[in-house]
Amino acid sequence: MSLAAARDPFHSPHRLTNRLHTVLLLGGMIGLLAACGWIVAGPEGGLWALALGGISLAFAPRMSPQMVLGLYGAVPVHPWDLPNVVRVLNELAERAGLPAPPQLYWIPSPTLNAFAMGRPGDAAIAVTDGMIRSLTLRELSGVLAHEISHVRNGDLWLMGLADTVSRLTRMMSLFGQILLLFNLPLLLTGAVTIPWGLILLLVLAPTIGALLQLALSRTREYDADLGGALLTGDPMALAGALRKLERNGRGLWESLLMPGRRDPNPSLLRTHPPTEERIRRLAALSGQLDDGRIASAAGGHGPGSGRFREVQSRPRHRLTGLWY
């Protein structure tokens, strides 16, 4: 398979599978919202619930990326600050077909983290100081490709939609439970009958919606892993970064004394898929792609620190409520 063909999302059965999962999970969340509306107010209630979801999504205020980045103390990275990193970012954006390269930001934190914000034509990618200093340029290119894939795939909008539907489901469930309490005497006397299955669904709807939202997040992470690997032609670049992120997340003593310890959170409650499974999928792709890695990221040298001084302080909770 040529690299050009590999970059085409429709040449990958993995991507098609992920897209199908996304449609099913998002459809399940929307269907759950409509079901809650139907239980509360009948068929018209279901329609009103869907209409309310569409209106909320269209007119809900969105926090600008600059405001969020300001909460993290993020600083814009200029081409002369980290020339190798900016060069890689621009080439990845061109490969992804974005209208403009995302603006890169540096976050003064020793943690290993990166995230994307914005739309394809006006996106931002933030990378912590710890990430820049801990990863090689090759590994960092895999992380940047992963974040660019989120931007290209519209995952930021999609997860915003899922969050809106989840919030509306919780609101509808709470409203329905309040109505049940007011009508409890009628239910006990038999004047009004409501199947217990519907009552149980109304009570459990917020939990079911949250689980569907978490599952959707994991699906989008798999899709971004795949998209990033197709952009770089080097799946093991991201795999290497994930290994370092996993070790850094456990901490030194846990890595030495309990190297095989797994994430104690149940798989249903994780926003990200298990690291081992992500690495396994990336390794399975390594033999299927031509090595079209970016020339400047092919070596093992670090990306450099530019004008940024190393952050020595420990991560802590900030007045904004964020931890970095």
Distance CA 61, CA 48 (A): 21
* Of residues 117, 126, 35, 31, the one with CA closest to residue 77: 126
Contact call for residues 198 and 248 (beta carbons, < 8 A): no
With vertex at residue 187, the alpha carbon angle to CA 185 and CA 192, rounded to the nearest 5 degrees, is 120
pLDDT at 257: 38
Rounded average pLDDT over 106-120: 89
**pLDDT category of residue 13 using cuts at 50, 70 and 90:** low
CA 240 vs. chain centroid, Å, equals: 19
Reported as a single tens digit per residue, the pLDDT across 78-98 is 998 999 999 999 999 999 999
Strands (E), the chain: 75-76, 103-107, 114-119, 122-128
Distance CA 294, CA 84 (A): 11
Please count the helices (runs of H) and the strands (runs of E) in the chain: 12, 4
> Is 147 designated active site?
yes
For the chain, domain boundaries? 3-297
pLDDT at 187: 64
pLDDT at 299: 53
Q: Annotated catalytic residue: which of 91, 147, 254, 276?
A: 147
**pLDDT(60) > 70:** no
With vertex at residue 14, the alpha carbon angle to CA 96 and CA 26, rounded to the nearest 5 degrees, is 85
